[in-house]
Amino acid sequence: MIILYFYLFDRVFFIKSNAYQLLGYDEVQQLINRISSNTPKLAEALMSPANGVPLNVMVTVLQRLLQSEVPIIDMRTIAEKMIEVWSKSKDPEALVEGVRISLKKLIIYSMCANRNEVAVGVLDQELAQILQGSIQQNQASGEKIMMIEPTLTERIYTRLLEFVQKCEVDSLTPIILVTSELRFLLEKLFKSSIPNIHFLSHQEIPDD
């Protein structure tokens, strides 16, 4: 029975950490249909041919949220924020950041439940400046990337792994607090190899 329990636990963790790969156009359309049933005007604005958010962009945003283990259960808030941000910027990255900030209470709750305080790790100031200065625009993909030495990447990976292990001993959720720009890039570099770690930006911490 114990073996079965751990087997099932591993299966659930695998599905959770890979949920973004299971979300495609059909699944997102189903979510939109639910919005349409409950709040038709919101769905109309979301799918408006003139000013609405394209379906492929919505798929990308929702996949990115799931990849970061952000719950997408509050689709009304997600849809409202996507419409608001898309009217000002056609950058999918800005959409993701805007939605994450609007879901900050849900994000924190999913990580720390009802704790009144959240313990976080922060980067050394000099390291943060180096990483911030290494951000460049990839001309081929149009995405931002960090150009850092492999040896520095390995050292950061080792320290992050040590941080996660210390948090596990102290029964804490491993959270690194960084700028919004670094959050996405660090997550892209290290989340797949250290799935237990979470990266949050300062704007994603609720005021209370």
pLDDT (mean) for 99-109? 94
Percent of the chain with pLDDT over 90: 60
Mean model confidence pLDDT for the chain:
86
pLDDT (mean) for 77-104? 94
pLDDT of residue 53: 94
User: Is residue 191 classed exposed, middle or buried when 0-12, 13-18 and 19+ CB atoms within 10 A define those classes?
Assistant: middle
pLDDT of residue 118: 86
- Tell which residue, 102, 121, 139, has the closest CA to residue 186: 121
Residue 11 has pLDDT above 70, yes or no: no
pLDDT category, 2, cuts 50, 70, 90?
A: very low
pLDDT category, 5, cuts 50, 70, 90?
A: very low
pLDDT category, 19, cuts 50, 70, 90?
A: low
Residue 15 has pLDDT above 80, yes or no: no
At 168-186, the pLDDT tens digits run 999 999 999 999 889 989 9
At 36-82, the pLDDT tens digits run 999 999 999 999 988 899 999 999 999 999 988 898 999 999 999 99
Residue 6 has pLDDT above 80, yes or no: no
Helix (H) or strand (E) holding 24, with range, is none
pLDDT of residue 105: 92
pLDDT of residue 13: 38
Contact 176, 129 (CB under 8 A): no
- Tell which residue, 94, 44, 88, has the closest CA to residue 64: 94
146 backbone dihedrals φ, ψ, rounded to 5°:
-105, 125
Lowest mean pLDDT, pick from 10-24, 113-127, 156-170, 175-189: 10-24
At 121-139, the pLDDT tens digits run 999 999 999 999 999 887 7
Lowest mean pLDDT, pick from 34-43, 74-83, 141-150, 185-194: 141-150
Q: Is the dihedral of CA 173, 156, 136, 145 positive or negative?
A: negative
